[in-house]
């Protein structure tokens, strides 16, 4: 389809971008797209049906933002580790990129980072070394990479982790799941609504705006997913009992659809995915999704359009008019998908 990135533009006022994390988490607002009904996230158990399956992403955000001093030349340098390629090599963003080159070293306390490639739009491949376990050193030396558009303060950095966060590896949180609390999960399960986890390591490219031109010319990012046999069984059981498969966030949609089969179930898989969900895509397994409100010209918005068509504009206009909070710490929407 000859769709342009400009087709996914809209005006997002600064005042609509959430600059604080609402408490309690499930006090966030929830827009039901069908009927444009204004609700609250805590009402989710009454919105879903007995027999439905909620699928969440159990990834945990790595403390991947490291500050150090570069050699040669000295000077403060920021390194954001975005993806572990293998035991020694990482993909990273560096600033100031124009002061660094292949062979440069950044000393970050107990961690030494050596650039293996020349920066390209700030992106490099690096080698990360530490006296002990590298992941432990990163967690001790780094900070969570909060979104660049978030200028508020978090009383506790764990507020940027979901209650499901288990598997360390992401550069950003799967934000649709930030609204869940243990009490809400208990209420969902009391209504025979099942919860199962998959894992997708969220990369920074998830939020990268698309350049001008055709949407399908955009090179989609690759992310690692892990869909377990337990998740396969949970989806099959939901199908057997007539329940909906509800994906919590675009990351879960991507993980499930990457492994979907023609009968509406999924296969177990551990590996990379570069699935780009755009208008014209026919969903294989996801029946509904919960998602936050996304920035203009992003692949996340393109995914919404694949499931909603131009209704996404109506929903976003409604949300802006009603004062919903946008982006990572913002409110959410619930959408049932016609398949």
Identify the pLDDT of residue 208: 67
Question: Contact, 308 vs 288, CB < 8 A?
Answer: no
Which sign does the torsion angle of CA 311, 317, 322, 325 carry?
positive
23 vs 300: CA distance, rounded Å:
26
Write down the pTM of the prediction. Answer: 0.94
Identify the pLDDT of residue 214: 82
Structural domains present in the chain? 5-61+155-336 (3.40.1780.10), 65-141 (2.40.10.240)
180 vs 185: CA distance, rounded Å:
7
Query: If DSSP codes are grouped into helix, strand and coil, which group holds residue 293?
Result: coil
Residue 274, classified by CB atoms within 10 Å of its CB into exposed (0-12), middle (13-18) or buried (19+), is exposed
Question: Of 210, 179, 154, nearest to 27 (Cα)?
Answer: 179
Q: How many residues belong to the chain?
A: 339
Cα→Cα distances 312→32, 104, 271, Å: 12, 45, 31
Give per-10-residue mean pLDDT for the chain (339 aa).
86 97 97 98 98 98 95 90 89 92 94 95 92 92 92 89 96 96 98 98 74 80 94 97 97 97 95 93 96 94 94 97 98 92
Q: What is the DSSP string of 153-214?
A: --SSGGGGS-TT--EEEESS--GGGGG--HHHHHHHHHTT-EEEEEEE---GGGGPPPPSSB
Question: Contact, 78 vs 64, CB < 8 A?
Answer: no
């Amino acid at each position: 389809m000859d769709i342009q990135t400009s087709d996914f533009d809209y005006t997002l006022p600064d005042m609509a971008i959430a600059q604080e994390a609402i408490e309690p988490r499930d006090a966030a607002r929830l827009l039901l797209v069908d009927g444009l009904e204004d609700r609250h996230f805590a009402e989710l158990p009454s919105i879903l049906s007995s027999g439905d399956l909620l699928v969440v992403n159990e990834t945990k955000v790595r403390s991947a933002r490291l500050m150090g001093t570069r050699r040669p030349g000295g000077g403060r340098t920021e390194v954001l580790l975005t993806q572990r390629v293998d035991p020694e090599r990482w993909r990273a963003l560096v600033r100031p990129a124009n002061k660094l080159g292949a062979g440069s070293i950044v000393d970050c306390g107990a961690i030494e980072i050596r650039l293996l490639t020349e920066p390209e739009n700030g992106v490099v491949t690096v080698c990360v070394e530490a006296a002990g376990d590298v992941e432990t050193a990163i967690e001790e030396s780094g900070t969570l990479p909060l979104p660049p558009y978030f200028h508020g303060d978090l009383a506790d950095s764990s507020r940027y982790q979901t209650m499901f966060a288990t598997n360390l590896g992401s550069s950003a949180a799967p934000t649709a799941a930030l609204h869940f609390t243990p009490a809400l999960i208990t209420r969902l399960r009391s209504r025979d609504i099942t919860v199962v986890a998959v894992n997708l390591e969220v990369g920074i490219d998830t939020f990268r705006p698309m350049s001008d031109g055709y949407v399908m010319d955009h090179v989609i990012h690759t992310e690692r997913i892990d869909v377990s046999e337990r998740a396969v069984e949970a989806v099959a059981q939901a199908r057997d009992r007539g329940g909906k498969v509800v994906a919590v966030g675009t990351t879960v949609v991507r993980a499930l659809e990457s492994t979907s089969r023609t009968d509406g179930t999924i296969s177990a898989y551990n590996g990379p995915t570069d699935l780009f969900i755009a208008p014209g895509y026919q969903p294989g397994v996801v029946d509904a999704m919960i998602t936050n409100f996304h920035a203009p010209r992003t692949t996340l918005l393109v995914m919404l359009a694949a499931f909603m068509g131009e209704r996404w504009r109506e929903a976003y206009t409604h949300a802006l008019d009603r004062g919903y909070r946008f982006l990572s710490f913002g409110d959410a929407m619930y959408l049932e998908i016609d398949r």
